[in-house]
Chain A
Amino acid sequence: MSATLTTVAGALGPLLDPFDGEIMRRALLEVLLLGTAGGLLGTWIVANRLTFTGEALPHAMFPGLVGAALLGVPLVVGGAVGLLVAAVLIALASRIETIDRDTAVAVVFTSLFGLGVLLALSPDSPAAVRALLFGDVLGLTDGDLLVAAGLTTVVAVALWTLHPRLTATAFDRSAARSFGVRPGTVDLALVALIAVATLVCVQALGNLFVAATLVGPAAAAHALGRRVAATMAIAVALAVLSGVGGLLLSFHAGTAAGASIALVTVATYLVVVLVARVPFRRPTGHPVGR
């Protein structure tokens, strides 16, 4: 694997010099993994209009992740606990009659994120905890990569299995029900997968920037893909390209890696959407009205 990467890096010349080092090669592998998980899942986050959840959920999990890092417990455990706490709080807040559901979600997520940031940025917190907020793609261990690879596989297999149900739900929620699909269950599965993908991305990108990879590439891919599978492939390609671009930007400009990746991701989105609006890109077009 490492030899292949070296060959590729060598062929592409001095631009890719940074990837000569072991640390940058790990970063590259992580970007490949989070681009795959983010691009695949993002396609369904965007298609099923769960972008708000894709943005908010990583934040809600944050105190759990910070707690795990402080206690030396695996992040997976912290993330799961954080998610559970968030779900219970939202359920409780929704019972207050004067608060509508969106408000309840927003209040709970923001509070939890604030709590997590407070913990992460306290003077006593070790650097590894701070990295959960801003990301540290250069500080990953082989163990971190192994976990990320495992979780990315979980996302890919789950999406492959759920594909027919995800398609039917995104296409027409109400009719999907009469074809044996439960849209609520499908949403729940997607939310769980967002949590898994967050665990893949959070160490490298930082909690602040996870949403960029979960939403940006997929939103851009939706402007290009003529089929769901193609859209997913394009989303993965854009996410990986943005990740590599962000790493290079970070290396040459000396900027924070997580923020650089997020920035390149958003820039890629804007370019793709602008290019997709040029008429010749869409020969078949979309029907106007009905």
Chain B
Amino acid sequence: MSDPSPTDPARSADGPPSGPSADGPSTVDRRALLRLDGVSAGYDERPALRDVTFAAHAGERIGVLGPNGGGKTTLFRTILGELAVRSGALDRAADVAVVPQTDRSRLDFPVSALDVVLMGTISRRPWWRRASRADRERARGHLRAVGLQNRADATFGALSGGQRQRVLVARALARDARILLLDEPYTGLDAASAERLDRLIADLADAGHALLIATHDVAQCRAWDRVLCLHGRQVAFGDPVETLTTDVLAATYGEDLLRLDRDGGLAVVTDHHHG
């Protein structure tokens, strides 16, 4: 990752660090793909999430931290357009796709990895049109991009958790989405699979995607470009190293257990079960 200027944690939705976006042939377009300004959203009268203001630029990996019920899912559903914005403004300059947790899908449903990736192409065709040969070739290309070109014909449910997660990333790529929302993608992965996913996420950022990654892993967030802390409202947004202070984490996780690990860094222990 090459960030042209030192990051300022106070910067929120004020645009890219390097001035106007039309600044010549950069390899990665740095304009904001997604911009939220004072967004509140929720399921009924009472918003589940308030006062969210941040921007996601091409090439950024943004960790989204917060307790279960803290608004991560609400945020994703709002960005996807499934929940109405109750106040504030939300601007999307690119398509959005979600990479859900793999255990949300039916593992006993007899589809191949390629079938799953092809689901990402549905919205790009008229409703009566089936996937074409070109669609299938592109889908295989997306499987190649996530390192699974040899498992195209494998049954989705028979793949490992890490492979399934990467198939779902390929499906999001098939959607032609430049904004990717990953819902706790590391849940249940072993160390090797997690590292592989880490590299994939870095590659996607380098390729100009903006990634929002919901996670409970504070240490992991420190390695990314931005962090967004939610607890029913936006607690903080900014450069992870400067943002993730004890105070911010306490405000983010509230009652959840905080402990100091050996190196003096903070770790959060939460119930990983999703409601």
- Smallest Cβ-Cβ distance to A185: which chain B residue: B127
B109 contacts A170, CB within 8 Å? yes
Least Cβ distance of B70 to chain A in Å?
19
Interface bin, chain A: 20 to 34
* B239 close to chain A: CB less than 8 A: no
Contact residues of B: prevailing secondary structure: mixed
Q: A171-B116, A287-B158, A290-B161 are in contact. Are A179 and B122 (CB under 8 A)?
A: yes
- In the bound assembly, the distance between CA atoms of A160 and B131 in angstroms comes to 12
Q: How far is the CB of B182 from chain A (nearest CB, A)?
A: 12
- The interface residues of chain A lying within 8 Å CB-to-CB of B110 are 222, 225-228, 230-231
Comparing A66-74, A126-134, A161-169, the segment that makes contact with chain B is: A161-169
| Binary B-proximity of A37-66 (CB < 8 A = 1, otherwise 0) | 000000000010000000000000000000
A187-227, CB < 8 A from B? 222, 225-227
Query: Is the Cβ of A161 less than 8 Å from the Cβ of B157?
Result: no
Q: Which residue of A lies closest to B154 (CB)?
A: A284
Point out the residues of chain B lying under 8 angstroms from A272, CB to CB: none
Q: Is A180 an interface residue (CB 8 A)?
A: yes
- In the complex, the answer to whether B97 meets A178 with C-beta atoms within 8 Å is yes
A28 to B209, CA, bound (A): 58
Is the beta-carbon distance between B111 and A228 smaller than 8 angstroms?
A: yes
Q: Give residues of chain A (251-290) contacting chain B, Cβ–Cβ below 8 Å.
A: 284-287, 290
Docked pose: A258 CA to B102 CA in angstroms: 43
Q: Which residues of A contact B (CB under 8 A)?
A: 47, 160-161, 163-165, 167-168, 170-172, 174-181, 222, 225-228, 230-231, 284-287, 290
**Can you name 7 A-B residue pairings with CB atoms under 8 Å?**
A164-B119, A175-B98, A178-B80, A179-B122, A286-B108, A287-B157, A287-B158
- Listed in ascending order, the chain B residues whose CB lies under 8 Å from chain A are 80, 82, 96-98, 100, 102-112, 115-116, 118-120, 122-123, 127-128, 130-131, 155-158, 160-161, 171, 175, 188
In order of increasing CB-CB distance, the 6 nearest A-B pairs are: A180-B123, A172-B105, A168-B119, A175-B100, A178-B98, A290-B188
